[in-house]
A and B are shown apart, each in its own frame.
Chain A
Amino acid sequence: MKQKFDIIQSTCVPLPLENVDTDQIIPARFLKATTRDERFFGENLFRDWRYDAEGNPRPDFVLNNPTYSGQILVAGKNFGSGSSREHAAWAIAGYGFRVVISSFFADIHKNNELNNFVLPVVVSEEFLSELFVSIQTNPKTEVKVDVPNQTVTNLSTGHSEHFDINGYKKYCLMNALDDIDFLLENQSKIEAFESRR
């Protein structure tokens, strides 16, 4: 949902797997909805890793482990590959995550997160592995994501990194504006383009 971004400080949920694809984030059978009910998608986030075929929680999966909680998901390299389904971003948002940290995101999914006011933060491999270690040693490890200054800090070690985001998107996130608001204001430019081609 449209929420203004500023500084987010939170504990993290670690998912130290690479190539987590959107079919795992939200399996295809949950794509039949015709509404954007984020709560529904959030309840089914990582469905098949989270629950067995009978619907019982799998105790070994991190979302079922009360030790870990928070608004930040920390995932291995190449997060969100595969299908373009925005339902994956809705599920992440619906579960309550506002930030996903990884060393690498798949393109379409990254845009989908941004369009749903979930911030994908790209960090270096070193920062990511250190963060996994910090969380493992101390599950209460907090991370501070400072959107205005574009920095991410592992508060256990104090290590900080700059992250990229273009000025336009940053403005949108900090003011809770979406792309469609912007495009609708630009209708005359579109018409001018159509008539000159």
Chain B
Amino acid sequence: MNTLFDKIWDAHVVQNVEDGPTQLYIDRLYAHEVTSPQAFEGLRQRGIQCFRPERIVCMPDHNTPTHDQDKPIEDAVGRNQVETLAQNAAEFGLTHYGMMNQRNGIIHVVGPERGLSLPGMTIVCGDSHTSTHGAMGAVAFGIGTSEVEMVMASQCILQQKPQSMRINVEGTLGVGVTAKDLALYLMSRITTSGATGYFIEYAGSAIRQLSMEGRLTLCNLSIEMGARGGFIAPDEVTFEYLKGREFAPKGEEWDKAVAYWRTLFSGEDAVFDKELTFSAEEVEPMVTYGTNPGMGMGITQQIPSLETVDIAGHTSYLKSLEYMGFKPGQQLLGTHVDYVFLGACTNGRIEDFRAFAQLVKGRRKADHVTAWLVPGSWLVLSQIKEEGLDKVLEASGFELRQPGCSACLAMNDDKIPAGKLSVSTSNRNFEGRQGPGARTVLASPLVAAAAAVTGVITDPRTLLVG
């Protein structure tokens, strides 16, 4: 007990239902166009309003095209979904940042960067990557549409309290190794179901050294280990990041808030249901070779042989490699790459674009590679321009697109064609995730950049100078 999770959870308990779940109060609900229409429909059928409309923020991101956003969306069905969100937000009196609004972008990028997601909050969204907001020191988790309706109707959710897990990462990540690699490494060790039923607190010196962007990337991927969510106790890095953000508290309110946030940490005597420790020095740049994010390895390694896989999993393992067109024991270095995707709520932030630009600077995009560079929000795009990164990228033959989920999930125009190999900074390599038949290798922005300029899977460390 006395974990940070307990502190935040306990402060939000409305009641514990007898022999049942906890009724938990929710500070912030985000809604996007895909998982909300049926929730609004449910409210209408019940003839009720949103209970606390001021706590709800809506924005479309999944269907938005990454070009010509000032024009109507060509795909009529996608357009209908985006318009339905705008209409619903208006009908129920909710804040809505539509396409072309400078506050629009992927919800999990916008929430933190606008100061809408704050330490100590409970945050939910009908989206599994809501775990991202945990980086701010919040209890944030993804929910289904019925649960979205529940929160709209009552600002509460019924949840079973998850178990607690602490993952300590000690030491310092090597040159060319990013938060994304750390996350892929943890997943490869813990597996995609290893943290199911748990809420993870990330701790240790390597975590403290991560920037806010790095923390957001790491927490984003908590769900890929099966965890309900993952978070990091707020510290100076968090406060520094939040100060002056649009919706963060100001003046006296700020001082009060920071004073409270400083109390948000797990006590010395905190007891976790499970505790794991890893060393940062062990982590290499990572790539995935299969069709779930836990199937990852160091970029210089070989795909595990069949004998190392649990016998019950053989069928799934072989099916997965067959889909990818890879063989057990194979090395991926030098593998031909068709597409490179930089973006998504995992790696669509300013730091990711800095890393990508740093590596491609003075080099040229490989001719046969199609590269999609998609900032996570309009704010990220304007930062890119302010810092002149757009010029660097352009000089190397890259183009920036407009913000949105893009090729992360093939709901908009950005789909990877069947059979093509994509090195992607997104978070899921499931069969067909980036388009029917698309083959996805998950990696960091640096690995993506190295693939983009060499046209094959390449260890970025061999291209980084100094």
Contact (Cβ within 8 A) B142 A84: yes
Residue A183, interface by CB 8 Å: yes
Residue B155, interface by CB 8 Å: yes
Known: A18-B313, A35-B38, A189-B23. A84 touches B144 (CB 8 A): yes
**DSSP majority for the B interface?**
loop
Which of chain A's residues have a CB closer than 8 A to the CB of B19?
A: 166-168
Which residues of A in the span 60-115 have a Cβ within 8 Å of any Cβ on B? 76-78, 81-87, 89, 104-108, 111-112, 115
Contact (Cβ within 8 A) B193 A48: no
Which of chain B's residues have a CB closer than 8 A to the CB of A107?
A: 162, 196-197, 226, 228
Contact (Cβ within 8 A) A21 B430: yes
Residue A169, interface by CB 8 Å: yes
Contact mask for chain A residues 1-25; partner B; CB cutoff 8 A; 1 contact, 0 none: 0000000000000001111010110
Known: A17-B315, A28-B411, A86-B35. A193 touches B144 (CB 8 A): no
Contact (Cβ within 8 A) A35 B37: yes
User: In the complex the two chains form, what is the Cα distance from A19 to B158 in whole Å?
Assistant: 26
Contact (Cβ within 8 A) B436 A53: yes
Contact (Cβ within 8 A) A180 B150: yes
Q: When the two chains form the complex, which single residue of A23, A29, A78, A108 contacts B192, counting CB atoms closer than 8 Å? A: A78
Using C-beta atoms within 8 Å of the partner chain, give the interface range for chain B: 35 or more
Q: When the two chains form the complex, which single residue of B46, B162, B431 contacts A24, counting CB atoms closer than 8 Å? A: B431
User: In the complex the two chains form, what is the Cα distance from A160 to B162 in whole Å?
Assistant: 28
B224 to chain A minimum Cβ distance, whole angstroms, is: 8
Contact (Cβ within 8 A) A29 B411: yes
Which of chain A's residues have a CB closer than 8 A to the CB of B402?
A: none
Contact (Cβ within 8 A) B81 A32: yes
Known: A36-B41, A84-B142. A189 touches B81 (CB 8 A): no
CB-CB nearest in chain A for B145: A86
CB-CB nearest in chain A for B158: A179
Known: A19-B193, A23-B430, A32-B78. A81 touches B23 (CB 8 A): no
Q: When the two chains form the complex, which single residue of A48, A116, A183 contacts B150, counting CB atoms closer than 8 Å? A: A183
Contact (Cβ within 8 A) A48 B63: no
Contact mask for chain B residues 1-24; partner A; CB cutoff 8 A; 1 contact, 0 none: 000000000010011011111010
CB-CB nearest in chain A for B317: A18
User: In the complex the two chains form, what is the Cα distance from A77 to B25 in whole Å?
Assistant: 32
Which of chain B's residues have a CB closer than 8 A to the CB of A35?
A: 37-38, 41
Which of chain B's residues have a CB closer than 8 A to the CB of A189?
A: 14-15, 23
Q: When the two chains form the complex, which single residue of A32, A81, A125 contacts B226, counting CB atoms closer than 8 Å? A: A81
Chain A: how many interface residues by the 8 Å CB criterion? 57
CB-CB nearest in chain A for B78: A32
Residue B409, interface by CB 8 Å: yes
Q: When the two chains form the complex, which single residue of B17, B197, B312 contacts A168, counting CB atoms closer than 8 Å? A: B17
Which of chain B's residues have a CB closer than 8 A to the CB of A182?
A: 17, 158
Q: When the two chains form the complex, which single residue of B15, B23, B162, B430 contacts A82, counting CB atoms closer than 8 Å? A: B430
Contact mask for chain B residues 196-218; partner A; CB cutoff 8 A; 1 contact, 0 none: 11000000000000000000000
Residue A176, interface by CB 8 Å: no
Residue A57, interface by CB 8 Å: no
CB-CB nearest in chain A for B13: A193
Which of chain B's residues have a CB closer than 8 A to the CB of A133?
A: none
Contact (Cβ within 8 A) B316 A108: no
Which of chain B's residues have a CB closer than 8 A to the CB of A28?
A: 62, 409-411, 433
Q: When the two chains form the complex, which single residue of A17, A23, A178 contacts B428, counting CB atoms closer than 8 Å? A: A23
Residue B48, interface by CB 8 Å: yes
Residue A139, interface by CB 8 Å: no
User: In the complex the two chains form, what is the Cα distance from A81 to B433 in whole Å?
Assistant: 13
Known: A168-B18, A169-B20. A86 touches B153 (CB 8 A): no
Which residues of B in the span 336-360 have a Cβ within 8 Å of any Cβ on A? none
Please indicate which of the listed interface residues A27, A108, A187, A194 has the most CB atoms of chain B within 10 Å of its own CB.
Answer: A108
9 contacts between A and B (CB under 8 A): A28-B62, A29-B411, A32-B80, A32-B81, A53-B436, A84-B127, A85-B144, A169-B20, A186-B14
Q: A83-B428, A180-B153, A183-B150 are in contact. List 8 more A-B contacts (CB 8 A).
A: A17-B315, A18-B312, A81-B292, A82-B430, A168-B158, A180-B46, A186-B15, A189-B14
Residues of B within 8 A of A (CB): 11, 14-15, 17-21, 23, 25, 34-35, 37-38, 41-42, 46, 48, 51, 62-63, 77-78, 80-81, 84, 126-128, 130, 142-147, 149-150, 153-156, 158, 160, 162, 192-193, 196-197, 226, 228, 292, 312-313, 315-316, 319, 409-411, 418, 428, 430-433, 436-437
